[in-house]
Amino acid sequence: MDALRAELLAAFAAELAEHMAGIREALADAAAGRQVDLREFSRRTHSLKGAARAVDLPQTEAAAHEAETILLAVERGERTLDGTTLAALRSLADAIEDGARAGDGTGDTAPDAAVPSATPLPGAANAPSDRVHVAGRHVERLARSVHDLSNQVAGQDQLTEMVDALAAELADMPATLDGEVARRIARLVGATERLRRELGRQRWSLERAASEIERDAERILLLPVATLFEGHERMVRELAASQGKFAELTMEPIEAEADRRVLQALREPLLHLLRNAISHGIETPAARTRAGKPEGGSIRVTPTTDRGRLNIVIRDDGAGLDPKAIEARAREAGLIAPGAPTPSRRALYSLLFEQGFSTSRTVDEVSGRGIGLSVVAETVRRLHGRVRILPGRPTGTEIRLSLPLALARQALLLVEAGGTRHALPAANVDRVLRLTPDAFDRTEGGAVLMLDGEPLPVVELADLLGLPAGEPGDGARPALIVEGADQRRVLLVDALDDVRSLVVGDPTAVAADVPMVWGTVLLEDGVALVLEPEALLAADAAGPRRQPRVAPAARPVQRTVLVVDDSITTRTLEKSILEAQGYRVLIAVDGLAGLERLRSGMDAIDLVVADVEMPRMDGFGLLTAIRNDPALQTLPVVMMTSRNSPDDIERGLSLGANAYVTKQEFDQGTLISVVQQLV
């Protein structure tokens, strides 16, 4: 058996062990008369069915399908979890495990072997010799221990400061001393200086060693992203053929690595999405011919990485989404209140992720149970990611997933609110703005900010967390545009501190009962809570909703914008976009030319839009010069750039940019909305 099948079966063994442990526990609870989560029970059997199909274990797949059918009948009230039903489910659980063992040709189907991982699966003996299987929890503990070591090394600064203070104290001893006392003090001064140098040398060595160990420990958690997609082409072809269809799967190559826990958790959702594309998307050859399409359907998976995120796009060229059918089934299922208006497309498509929701009117081995997409949504949420469904271009359906490449280390934005420092995942912060008091519209439901043509609710982060609010002010406030799976919100904070890549720890040790907390990070001066973006978007403010803490002010009419960019194409594009909105636009070819134009006093310039990478003086240099010039320091500056590393964002914020917009592609709507907020 080849290495690929061994790899897939090794992954299936871990998944089988996890799900069977949950199934056995549910059966024990039911037999003891305890409450059983039927949805979770069904989800596990559904997931095992899909995984078994992927590794070509038909006996396991059939047994899981039959167990799922029984559980769905119990959910609908057509059966009860009586002795007969429980006996049938126990037999099917045994059959699931037996089918996996039978695949290795040994014929060992002992019904009492309750731990599937204890019995090698097909191909396990042929696993690559350079692989060692280690429990994930041990690797995670190693990574956190190494991080703690790094923090302890950083604490060597205190020893250095103590030695420096001692050296200074000895140096200040009275010069009038003589004799033995003076000689002893001189020796102490020399010894202290040697100690200081040795501490510095050892600290440098320790920092270097700890850094190397930390990197090596984190590499242990990594696997090639490409392993997530291996072996699915055949599954797609066979599954399509079983439904009388033709479909081909194309996987775009990728060289990146990701946390093994992320990849392992994504195997099941990926299978569900591929099965869903075949069942609900790809049409029969006859239907495709009538629509003027090739007989065979196409499913394309495109993985990419960006800013510490793994982004996966799954596109099919099938029939596409039917908003009317989705709305009808949602109303039928009670997900849309009677008489309520039709939701937005984004909100409507998000209903497809609700458990039990399916647009299929028939139930078969592949679809109609309303479980697959809910598994995807739950897994992605647990991994602190996002998933969206969009219409395909030009036809079909497109599903986008975005998840962190690593679970432990995250790029975090540190902010202050209510006198406390908090952290938010940088990937969920769409942009950072500094908003003046007149930026918000007041409505009966609270303050809103018009951004990209969409009214976004505005709320104080301190209010969401139930923390004391500061005093109102009439200056600009730092604001975060936080986005989740299907909504965005403006969070006002007191200050922006930093952007760092940090190891996120388990929150239960210090914040077990605190809502909206994802984890914790260890900082130099204590522990900060990492906030859960989806929870922040869904939460209401603690107590009565307060208006944002800004004093009302009249919006001044300001129209002159200076665009500073060395690219003639970008300058021309930005100029045409802004002039179309009624702004007067001036041009400068680099930072030095822009600064000269500002200081000349020839024009009353109200806002600067500057690129970062320019000759002679870059955007950061221009921003620094503006903030250091008393006549210009209050001038709003927008940094428009494709540079999107945490260090660049941190630098732009620390230098005083009013907005730092990072986009992979130029977005004219973003530019217009940001400028409208600032002038």
Higher pLDDT, 624 or 569: 624
- Please give the residue that has the higher pLDDT: either 518 or 300: 300
pLDDT higher than 60, residue 330: yes
pLDDT for the residue 313: 94
* pLDDT given for residue 618 in this prediction: 83
The answer on 83 and 23 residing in a single domain is yes
pLDDT at position 552: 44
Q: Do 268 and 362 have their domain in common?
A: yes
Residue 674, judged by CB atoms within 10 A of its CB (0-12, 13-18, 19+), counts as buried
Q: What is the pLDDT of residue 544?
A: 44
CB-based contact 109:101 (threshold 8 Å): yes
Kindly report each contact of residues 652-655 with a partner whose C-beta sits within 8 Å and lies 24 or more positions away, as own/partner: 652/612, 652/620, 652/623, 653/432, 653/496, 653/499, 655/620, 655/623, 655/624, 655/627
Last residue of a domain, one of 363, 379, 404: 404
Lowest-pLDDT choice from 108-117, 587-596, 611-620, 635-644: 108-117
Instruction: Answer yes or no: is pLDDT of 664 > 90.
Output: no
Within a domain: 544: no
Instruction: Assess whether 202 and 230 both reside in one domain.
Output: no
Q: Provide mean pLDDT across the span 237-259.
A: 88
Q: Which of 192, 220, 248 is the last residue of a domain?
A: 220
Give 285's pLDDT tier (boundaries 50, 70, 90).
very high
Retrieve residue 639's tokens: 């940094």
Contact residues for 608 (Cβ-Cβ < 8 A; gap 6+): 561, 562, 564, 594, 598, 622, 626, 635, 636, 637, 638
Q: Report yes or no: 373 and 276 within 8 Å, Cβ to Cβ.
A: yes
State the pTM of this model. 0.52
Regarding whether 152 and 266 lie in a shared domain, the answer is: no
Q: Stretch 139-164: mean pLDDT, rounded?
A: 68
Question: Please, what sign has the CA dihedral across residues 195, 201, 206, 207?
Answer: positive
**pLDDT of 483 over the 60 cut:** yes
Q: Which two tokens stand for residue 657?
A: 């940019």
Lowest mean pLDDT among 163-172, 330-339, 344-353, 627-636: 163-172
pLDDT for 38 equals 85
Least confident of 140-154, 243-257, 469-483, 571-585: 140-154
Average pLDDT of 348-357?
A: 75
Kindly write down the DSSP assignment for every residue of 619-667, as one continuous string. Answer: HHHHHHHHHH-TTTTTS-EEEEES---HHHHHHHHHTT-SEEEE-SS--
Residue 665: band (very low, low, confident or very high) from pLDDT cuts 50, 70, 90: very low
Residue 108's pLDDT band (cuts 50, 70, 90): very low
Of residues 665 and 596, which shows the higher confidence score? 596
Same structural domain for residues 211 and 229? no
pLDDT in tens, 448-459: 888 877 888 888
Strand-strand pairing, 607-610 and 637-641: parallel
User: What pLDDT, on a 0 to 100 scale, did the predictor assign at position 511?
Assistant: 43
Question: 278 CB contacts (<8 Å, ≥6 apart)?
Answer: 236, 239, 240, 243, 245, 247, 297, 299, 366
Give the range among 18-22, 49-53, 513-517 with minimum mean pLDDT.
513-517
Tens of pLDDT, residues 7-17: 667 767 877 88
Any domain includes 550: no
CATH number of the domain that residue 73 is part of: 1.20.120.160
Domain assignment present for 177: yes
Compute the average pLDDT of residues 271-289: 90
* % the chain with pLDDT above 70: 76
Q: What is the arithmetic mean of pLDDT over 505-530?
A: 66
The pLDDT confidence band at residue 653, using thresholds 50, 70 and 90, is: low
The pair phi, psi for residue 251, each rounded to 5°, is: -110, 125
327 and 306 inside one domain: yes
What pLDDT sits at residue 312?
94
Mean pLDDT of 590-609: 86
Q: What pLDDT is recorded for position 667?
A: 57
Boundary (domain end) residue, out of 361, 383, 404: 404
Domain check: are 104 and 174 in the same one? no
Tell whether 265 is covered by a domain.
yes
Q: Does 174 score more than 90 pLDDT?
A: no
Q: For position 582, which CATH number holds?
A: 3.40.50.2300
355-381 pLDDT, tens digit each: 656 655 444 444 443 455 777 888 887
Among the residue ranges 85-89, 152-156, 319-323, 417-421, the one predicted with the least confidence is 152-156
Q: How confident is the model at residue 555 (pLDDT cuts 50, 70, 90)?
A: very low
| Structure confidence at residue 361 (pLDDT) | 47
What pLDDT does 648 receive? 63
Average pLDDT over residues 48-53: 78
646 and 661 fall within a common domain? yes
pLDDT at site 356? 59
CA distance 654 to 639: 13
The one-character DSSP state at 539 is P
What does the pLDDT average to over 404-408?
78
Residue 496 structural domain: 409-538
Same domain for 432 and 335, yes or no, is no
- Look at residue 551 and tell me if it is in a domain: no
State residue 451's pLDDT score: 83
Q: What is the pLDDT of residue 368?
A: 40
Nearest 5°: the CA angle 497, 498, 499 is: 150
Q: What type of residue is 123?
A: G
Whole-angstrom Cα distance, residue 141 to residue 149? 12
Asked whether residue 140 carries a pLDDT value surpassing 80, the answer given is no
Measure the CA–CA gap between 213 and 278, rounded to whole angstroms: 45
Where is mean pLDDT largest: 208-217, 296-305, 471-480?
296-305
Q: What is the pLDDT of residues 213-236, one digit of tens each?
A: 766 766 777 888 888 887 788 788
CATH of residue 500: 2.40.50.180
Q: What is the mean pLDDT of the chain?
A: 77
Q: Is the pLDDT confidence value at 315 over 90?
A: yes
423 or 47, which is more confident:
423
Answer yes or no: do 99 and 194 share one domain.
Answer: no
299 closest CA partner among 247, 367, 352: 247
**Alpha-carbon distances, residue 261 vs 176, 230, 382, 670 (angstroms):** 69, 17, 12, 35
CATH number of the domain to which 363 belongs = 3.30.565.10
Is there a domain that residue 148 lies in?
A: yes
**Residue 552 placed within a domain:** no
Helices within 76-178 (DSSP H only): 83-102, 136-154, 156-171
Give the residue-averaged pLDDT of 71-90: 86
Q: Are 570 and 590 in contact (CB under 8 A)?
A: no
What's the structural domain count of the chain?
Answer: 5
pLDDT band at 647 (very low <50, low <70, confident <90, very high): low
- Say whether both 510 and 572 belong to one domain: no
Q: What is the pLDDT of residue 362?
A: 44
Is 600 inside a domain boundary?
yes
Whole-number pLDDT of residue 156? 66
Among the ranges given (379-393, 518-532, 551-565, 606-620), the one the predictor scored with the smallest mean pLDDT: 551-565
Query: Does pLDDT of 388 surpass 80?
Result: yes
Res 611 pLDDT > 80: yes
- Locate 112 and state its tokens: 């009492």
Residue 194 maps to which CATH number?
1.10.287
Instruction: List CB contacts of 346: < 8 A, sequence separation 6 or more.
Output: 388, 486
Residue 1 binned pLDDT confidence (cut-offs 50, 70, 90) = very low
Is the domain of 668 the same as that of 593? Answer: yes
